[in-house]
Structure 1
């Protein structure tokens, strides 16, 4: 999938530097410049090798970022991962774990971290496939379905309110 295809799904996208997680220099306000405007996206991505970023809250999404390197409790980490896998939502394999995508109202107030090793990404952005990680590995979709509503069990532990 390319940046235009993501925008056609209603996902606000932005260019990132090649093989990087950093916004491209053409963005004056970082992820706040992400857009659905196809003509702008085509201009940005006419330059080769740019990675693709997703402005999460603008796209009415929340992403659970599982990082295998930073887990504190393997048992708790696995139980949350199982819950995410059984929810059958859009899932991306990252260099060090997984991103699980859920529909979420942009007005929700999410904590930044669920447990060590599981970050809650909402205000900000994530890197989208087929972007290349700084270490050379590729982000790739492993469950190519639309994001589902955030399960109530997860919402209870993820939200401040």
Structure 2
């Protein structure tokens, strides 16, 4: 059994619906355009998929009942908006910690935490029952803030154990 197959099966045992991502990538593999509908916890289907190629593992957040908060680091040369720079805040995690404190809430360090390939953080939460929480990006629309994205229904994350090779950095999740 390959490490990536083991990663996919482990995620499925956690109740997370998985699907193949391109080998060494973070986008749905060719032929998996309906990834959210086809994501599964079925061990036989997962084994069949991962026997085809060394796919990375995608976790479909909606079917898995997950809300993942993605706390990014700035890209090289990117500087914080003035609002955050004045406070000495320079990362998504620092923005999120500030927001938690501002609302009288502790930073949720007691959840599953995954370090991303560029050093950011994914915080995994069980989505509230009966609510379809979608995706946000930064401080646009209903977003939480600069360098904070959320993934819920209609979104996915790269599973820990995957390995991404990209122009802006290579590394494991």
Q: Within 5 A, what are the aligned runs for 1:76-115? A: 76-80=95-99, 83-85=107-109, 88-96=110-118, 97-104=120-127, 105=129, 107-110=131-134, 112=136, 113-115=143-145
What's the TM-score, normalizing by structure 2? 0.70
Contact 2:115 2:121 in 1 (8 A): yes
What's the TM-score, normalizing by structure 1? 0.75
Contact 2:135 2:150 in 1 (8 A): yes
Contact 1:89 1:100 in 2 (8 A): yes
Instruction: Deviation per CA, 1:81-128: give whole Å up to 9, x if none.
Output: 87132xx10011002300000001363335612101011111211100
Is there any run of 5+ residues in structure 2 with no aligned partner, and where? 1-5, 101-105, 137-142
What residue is the counterpart of 2:139 in the other structure?
none
> How much is the aligned-residue C-alpha RMSD, in angstroms?
2.2
Is there any run of 5+ residues in structure 1 with no aligned partner, and where? 140-161
Cα gap change, 1:106/1:13 in structure 2, threshold over 3 Å: closer, same or farther? farther
The answer to whether 1:120 aligns with 2:154 is no
Runs of 4+ in structure 1 off by over 6 angstroms are none
What residue is the counterpart of 2:47 in the other structure?
42
What residue is the counterpart of 1:51 in the other structure?
56
